[in-house]
């Protein structure tokens, strides 16, 4: 019940204050450039990394990225830039 009210208030604030939904609702912002770069903002931490897989913790769930030849170019507390051949991006609602 509390989550519903939080979502309603966040939606109302987003519309009223004209702020991006990712900021108000604490959602990840994902920017991809072709299949070679993916930039994720507003994550909660790195869970796993290999040259074929990256898994990030989100406020709700996880983000799983699969591909080949992955290299982390930048990593900050809430931002990450991944390079390689990106094949799949999954949102895991766990």
pLDDT at residue 19 is higher than 90: no
pLDDT digits (tens, 9 = 90+) for 27-43: 899 999 999 999 999 99
Give the mean pLDDT of 1-20: 64
Domain boundaries, position 38: 22-92
Q: Tell whether 12 is covered by a domain.
A: no
Sheet bearing 62-76, strands edge to edge: 29-33, 37-41, 79-92, 62-76, 53-57, 45-49
Domain containing residue 46: CATH number? 2.60.40.2000
Q: What confidence tens digit (pLDDT) does each residue in 52-63 have?
A: 999 999 999 999
**Residue 7, domain member (yes or no):** no
pLDDT above 70 for 20: no
Answer yes or no: is 27 within a domain: yes
Tokens standing for residue 65? 């990225």
Establish if 13 belongs to a structural domain: no
Domain count, the chain: 1
The pLDDT of residue 42: 95
HSE value, Cβ hemisphere, 13 Å, CA-based, for 66:
5
| C-beta separation of 79 from 41 below 8 A | yes
Closest CA to 30 of 94, 92, 89, 87: 89
């Amino acid at each position: 019940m509390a989550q519903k009210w939080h979502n309603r208030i966040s939606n109302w604030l987003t519309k009223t204050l004209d702020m991006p939904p990712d900021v108000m609702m604490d959602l990840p912002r994902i920017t991809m450039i072709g299949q070679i770069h993916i930039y994720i903002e507003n994550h909660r931490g790195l869970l796993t990394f290999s040259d074929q897989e990256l898994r990030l913790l989100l406020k709700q769930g996880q983000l799983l990225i699969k591909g080949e030849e992955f290299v982390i170019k930048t990593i900050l507390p809430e931002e990450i830039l991944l390079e390689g051949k990106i094949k799949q991006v999954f949102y895991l609602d766990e």
